[in-house]
Amino acid sequence: MGSSTGGADESQEPIRTRQAHGPAQLFWQALLAGDQPAVAEILRDPGNNLSPSAVFDTSDLEEWKNYRFNPRGLRLWSLSYEQELTTPLHITASRGHTGCLRLLLQRGADPALAPGGRTALHAAAAAARADCARLLLRAGADPQALSEDGYRPLHLCRSADSIECVRQLLQHGASVNSQTEEENDTALHVTARLGLVEHVQLLLHHGAELEVKNKEGQTPLNAACAQHHQPQDMDRYYRVCQLLVESGASVNAADRDQQRPLHLACKNANAQIAELLLARGANVNVMNYGGSTALHNILQVAAYRLENRPELVVRALLNHGAVRVWPGSLLKVLQSCHSCPRAIEALVNSYSHVRVSEAWEAAVPAEVVQKYPCFYRSLFSLGRSPRSLQHLARCTLRTLLEGRLLQVLSQLHLPRALHQFLLLGFEDVLY
């Protein structure tokens, strides 16, 4: 793969950093350290034959990989050896050495140089160096420059502290809706997927489009819901989805696999987002290409997302009219979800009665029964006694109000305990 050097002198051989000696080695070390006086002194001496637009070949430096922007972990290949090229601008911009960067630009360094397939502005954006990005933009760096990998600087603002870089790029003409060449992601896709609330807010303020689809057919809302949500990140992703939905994002947009945001939120067991989508009219029973509904998705992952409280998602879906599991499949659900008894509780309480056999007892490991003895004793006893009149009354009312349950209950001034009971509030026992 060839490497463009922008405005560099293509007849000049890149400086091999490992082999550099004398002024070239001193120049390299001064740039890494951000030693502005040393850089100035080296460039002042014409005998050094060093340019502020010099190109360094860092292919033989393992430690350089820590600083080199490379979104896919790829290396740039020449015909003869693996080549990784950089310039003084890239070095100083990626490390936040603003004094050196300013000096280099004053000495005529070209901000359009991209010997390694990226510009210094890409490097500043990827490293969240807002002051360096500002200097480069004022010196004429192109905010729409396309890297060899198909990214614009705005696509590389991927950390919480890069918000000022986003602001600088937008102020200097970066297109908020540009897409990456391979994934077709916009900056809104990228930041929504990463759960960057401030970034999403800023991009929306500058007119980011909500329904643009990437290569996978995902809108930014789909992308946010699809990303794996750690427990500590769930609130961030909820706020991102809230911003998108309140700005008009479609809650029923389907990706290539016909997965809607609700399907994806349920795979992550994110109850806050599921409730948000359901309240905004998400179709609770639509199937993806695999024939799964949102309820199927949450039941499939419940045992692996215990820290996210998947039972809250199961309950929310049932209260919004999710078609229940075929009774004959409840045993399979128990086999996969027994470590989340509250999910079983919500599901079993949505039926007026269930057929509990000895196979149910065999489906739950002894250590799980010992951990939740009251619940599982009450579940297994359902095979020998009918459900209570209180439960049967709840089922009758829920059936009568099917499709209107939440709407009607919100208008009734019921005692809180009764309200919670009708909405399958958890009691950790069945009767």
Percent of the chain exceeding pLDDT 90 equals 85
Residues 182 and 302 in one domain: yes
Statement to judge: residues 166 and 215 lie in one domain: no
CA nearest to 255, candidates 213, 193, 283, 294: 213
Q: Is residue 165 located within the same domain as residue 181?
A: no
Whether residue 141 contacts residue 129, with contact meaning beta carbons closer than 8 Å, is answered with no
Same domain for 50 and 116, yes or no, is: yes
Residues 91 and 215 in one domain: no
Q: Are residues 24 and 149 in the same domain?
A: yes
In whole angstroms, how large is the CA radius of gyration of the chain?
29
Three-state secondary-structure class, residue 122:
helix
- Using alpha carbons, select from 347, 338, 346 the residue that is nearest to residue 366: 338
| Eight-class DSSP state of 368 | H
Q: Which two tokens stand for residue 196?
A: 């960057």
Q: Please report whether residue 388 resides in a domain.
A: yes
Domain count, the chain: 3
For residue 334, is it within any domain? no
86 and 224 belong to one structural domain: no
Q: What is the mean pLDDT of the chain?
A: 92
Give residues with Cβ within 8 angstroms of 187, minimum separation 6: 154, 155, 157, 166, 176, 178, 199, 203, 208
> CB of 87 within 8 A of CB of 56?
yes
pLDDT in tens, 143-184: 999 999 999 999 999 999 999 999 999 999 999 999 999 999
273 CB-near residues (< 8 Å, 6+ apart): 225, 237, 238, 241, 261, 265
CATH number for the domain including 144?
1.25.40.20
The CA dihedral of 322, 327, 332, 335, to the nearest 10 degrees, is: 90
Distance CA 277, CA 280 (A): 5
pLDDT at 11 over 70: no
Per the domain annotation, does 328 fall within a domain? no
The boundaries of the domain holding residue 357 are 342-431
Percent of the chain with pLDDT over 70: 91
Q: Is the pLDDT of residue 2 over 50?
A: no
Decide if 336 is inside a domain.
Answer: no
Q: What tokens does 304 get?
A: 């692996």
Q: Of the residues 126, 142, 175, which one is the last residue of a structural domain?
A: 175
For residues 132 and 45, membership in a common domain is answered with yes
Confidence of residue 12 (pLDDT cuts 50, 70, 90): low
pTM of this prediction?
0.89
Same domain, 21 and 93: yes
Residue 5 has what pLDDT? 41
DSSP notation for 144-212:
TPPPTTS--GGGG--SGGGHHHHHHHHHTT--TT---TTT---HHHHHHHTT-HHHHHHHHHTT--SS-
Same domain, 299 and 411: no
**Quick one: 294 and 170 in the same domain?**
no
